Every structure is written in C-alpha cells, then in structure tokens.
Amino acid sequence: MARIFSLLNHKGGVGKTTSAINIAAGLARLGKRVLLVDLDPQASLTISLGVPRQPVTVYEAFRGEAEFMPFTVKDNLDIITSRIELSGVESELINEAGREYILAELLDPLRDMYDFIVMDCPPSLGLLTLNALTASDFVYIPMQTEFLALQGLAKIKQVIDKVRFRLNKQLEIGGVIATMYDSRKVLNRDVVEMIKKYFGDKVFQTMIRDNVALAEAPSQRQDIFSYSPSSIGAEDYLNLCKEILERMEAAAQPSSLRQQRV
C-alpha cells in the first residue's frame, strides 16, 4: 500500500514544486511506482511536466464528477493534473459535509497501485492543503536557505499539529528539505543552522544545492533526471530520495529493533 506524503510551504518560491517533481522522479528512478498529485490551481507541476489537458483533473474529482484517472508521464511515474478552475473549489464546497476528507477518499482506490503518492500543495493553508494533510502519512517542508524563508515556520507547524489533533492522528513531519543552498554563502549556512535548531534531526542531511539545471528543466517539460542526469541537481535529488527511503525503512521497524541499532 502506498505511502502518501505532501510537500508543504505556504511561502512561494522555495522549491516546493521542483522538489515534488524530482522526488517523485527520483523514487521512480529507484524502481518505485509513484503517483504525483497536483493540488495547486496554478498547475505548475502539470505544466512543468508538459502534460496535455486531461478530461479529469483534481477539480472534477473534488466536485464528485469523476474518479481520479492517472496519466502516465514515464515508466513508474503517473500524475493527476490540475487546472485553474481548482482555485474556486473551496467556495464551491463550502457546504459539503466532511470536505476535508474528499482527497483521502479519492486516493483510497489507488493506494494498492503505487509505492508512493506525492502531493504538491498550493502556497496557502486553505481547503486543498487541509485535504492533503488529512490524506497524508508524512509532510515534507522545503525551505529556501534565505532569511525570509524562516518567517512563518511556527504557523506551518501549528497547522500540522491541528490537523494531527483533529483530522489525521497518523500525520508526521517526515523531514525538512533545505533548497537553493550555496555553501559559500554565510547566510545560507546560518539559515540551515537555525532550521536545525527548530526542527532538529527532521532536517535532511542532503541539501539541494543552487543549480541552474533545476530551473531550466521545467522549460523543457522534464524532470531533472531526464533533462540533465549528470547535474548536481540530479545528484542531490537522488541522494535525497535515498535518504527518504532510509528514514521510512527505519520508521517502519519495531521500536525494539531501532533501539538495538542505536
């Protein structure tokens, strides 16, 4: 059964969609069956992978007009696309009972088809994000290594804690991903240390270095492994995927076995 995780940060421009695409592509490269879900009405993930307009997107499914219909991007990687009309779904479903659980119900029939379901949340904390967190096992927080990226950390954690208390008691912070990192910059190093003080060992050891290929790949409608497999961006995201798998494997072990290893 698929592990479900969301990429969340209500600040834009932190590498959230880039991380969603390339984590999914990296896991697929490692032989895992992966489904991407584009929950952002801007459809940046959909556009970045060059997916043609689909008859059923997240919008139609949320409205109850159809079930999810995955589109195959490449071997081991499928996607549920988005479109701009999704921006109005919150007001359209204002009176819908249990509306926070719509996404979980839509994903349930697909869980046995994949190893991982990766969801790209919009840069907001509205209904779509609540649905993602309610459906997820883990949430990953990409953070640009700049000072302003630190603003709102408490708000993100507060929202996650509320969802865990009220809607999804299984939800965990799977990790924090430092993005656009340049080890030559004192500010970048200082910000990483501040993030580590706040999140501790939740911060991944793998940091996504600033790399032009990561910015170029969406213009070619490709993930980083298809566009530039020898780039440091591809190297970093593949290492991050391996670290994600290692953490999940460790978390799945009985507590007694984990203590023995320590």
Q: What is the DSSP string of 191-246?
A: HHHHHHHHHGGGB-S---B--HHHHHGGGGT--HHHH-TTSHHHHHHHHHHHHHHH
Query: Which residues, listed in sequence order, are joined to residue 179 by a DSSP beta bridge?
Result: 144
Query: Are the C-beta atoms of 77 and 36 separated by less than 8 Å?
Result: yes
The CA-atom distances, in angstroms, between 177 and each of 67, 75, 133, 148, 244 are 32, 26, 17, 16, 11
Residue with tokens 């208390």: 165
Model pLDDT for residues 240-257, shown as the tens digit of each residue: 999 999 998 887 776 545
Specify the pLDDT at position 254.
67
Position 175 pLDDT exceeds 70: yes
Specify the pLDDT at position 255.
53
Model pLDDT for residues 12-64, shown as the tens digit of each residue: 888 999 999 999 999 999 999 999 999 999 999 999 999 999 999 999 999 99
Query: Which residues, listed in sequence order, are joined to residue 17 by a DSSP beta bridge?
Result: none
- Report the alpha-carbon distance of residue 245 to residue 46 in Å, rounded: 25
Taken in order of first residue, the domains within the chain and their CATH numbers are 3-261 (3.40.50.300)
Model pLDDT for residues 177-196, shown as the tens digit of each residue: 999 999 999 999 999 999 99
Greater model confidence, 154 or 180 = 180
Q: What is the mean pLDDT of residues 5-13?
A: 90
Position 152 pLDDT exceeds 80: no
Percent of the chain residues topping a pLDDT of 90: 82
Greater model confidence, 94 or 116 = 116
Query: Are the C-beta atoms of 208 and 19 separated by less than 8 Å?
Result: yes
The structure's pTM equals 0.93
Of 252, 220, 230, nearest in space to 21 by CA: 220
Specify the pLDDT at position 256.
46
Model pLDDT for residues 192-208, shown as the tens digit of each residue: 999 998 899 999 999 99
Find the range with the poorest average confidence among 82-86, 100-104, 251-255, 256-260: 256-260
